[in-house]
Amino acid sequence: MTETAAPRLRIGDVTVTKVVEAVVHPEAESLLPGSSNDYVRASREWLAPHFIDATDRLVISIHSFLIEADGRRFVVDTGVGWDLPDGFKHLATPGEKYLRDLDSAGFAPNSVDFVICTHLHVDHVGWNTRQQGEEWVPTFPNARYVLADDAVSAWRRSGGSGAHSHGNDRTVEPLLAAGVVDRITPDHVLTPSVRLVSTPGHTPGHISIEISSGDQRGLITGDASHHPVQWSQPHWASKADLDPEESTRTRRRLLDELVDTDTLILGTHYGGPVAGRLVTTPAGVRFVTAD
């Protein structure tokens, strides 16, 4: 299933657009092994229709966030691309549809200043490059690619093993060879409105993106949170989390910082609207859509 709409919102003077590549519908217990399908079903009142479907399966979106801030253009995560291993092929979209959708959103690849990868899993780096003859070249030819130094180091130490890092020899290594990568440390400031923050647990060096403009603030989660239900059950770690205990600590820290504030949460895998807020209710914390 593929969505074509590109919903947009403003955070102060910053514009954020969501471009969806693919949507999948796993059962909660398959993505979040410690979770409960029954709990998800009982939470239908606040999870439906955007975050669970008619059969109570999770709605998981694979998308990019496009940011216009301080006269610069950013792409956050670049989806799966089309060169996918077994087990991921169902996520692929035909040809270069993703790139056409970027164009339709006003983000031609040559207009992008920065590409930020929250981490190096296959569904976040797929369109970093594209094939030109026998070579893999940067999809965004004028951009600096921003990767966490710890993420790059860990991937290289692993020898590229693991299905989730499949293809990094074509989506990451050519960027390093071309000298277009900025290997950053946590809390790196890109522009006055865009800062990277450390949110460890899912992978080494995992980062989220803080947007701040005027008195408004937003946080792009990356895979620190895969689904809104994790804010009510932060101990429900993803099966892809390398360190589930640390990812749980990260979610609890974010909850302490963000619940009942005006900060917008932009979920990197959330279906539905672009953003929402964390709100305390008599039944616990809920993610409430903002648009």
Six token digits for residue 128: 């970093």
The pLDDT mean for the chain works out to 92
Has residue 139 got a pLDDT over 70? yes
Has residue 262 got a pLDDT over 90? yes
Give yes or no for a contact between 12 and 59, defined as CB atoms under 8 angstroms apart: no
Q: Select the more confidently predicted residue: 97 or 231.
A: 231
Residue 52 DSSP one-character state: B
Q: How confident is the model at residue 19 (pLDDT cuts 50, 70, 90)?
A: very high
Other beta carbons within 10 angstroms of residue 129's beta carbon come to 25
- HSE of 273, CA atoms in CB hemisphere, 13 A: 15
In this prediction, residues 127-149 reach a mean pLDDT of 95
By DSSP bridging, strand 129-132 and strand 135-138 are antiparallel
Give yes or no for a contact between 143 and 180, defined as CB atoms under 8 angstroms apart: yes
Six token digits for residue 284: 């616990």
- Reported pTM: 0.94
Per-residue pLDDT of 52-110, as tens digits, reads 999 999 999 999 999 999 999 999 999 998 777 677 777 777 678 899 999 999 999 99
Spatial CA neighbour of 139 closest among 101, 179, 171: 171
Tokens 């390093």 identify what position?
176
Q: How confident is the model at residue 164 (pLDDT cuts 50, 70, 90)?
A: low
Give yes or no for a contact between 159 and 32, defined as CB atoms under 8 angstroms apart: no
> Can you list the domains of the chain with their CATH numbers?
8-289 (3.60.15.10)
Whole-angstrom Cα distance, residue 245 to residue 250? 9
Q: How confident is the model at residue 1 (pLDDT cuts 50, 70, 90)?
A: very low
Six token digits for residue 281: 């209710």
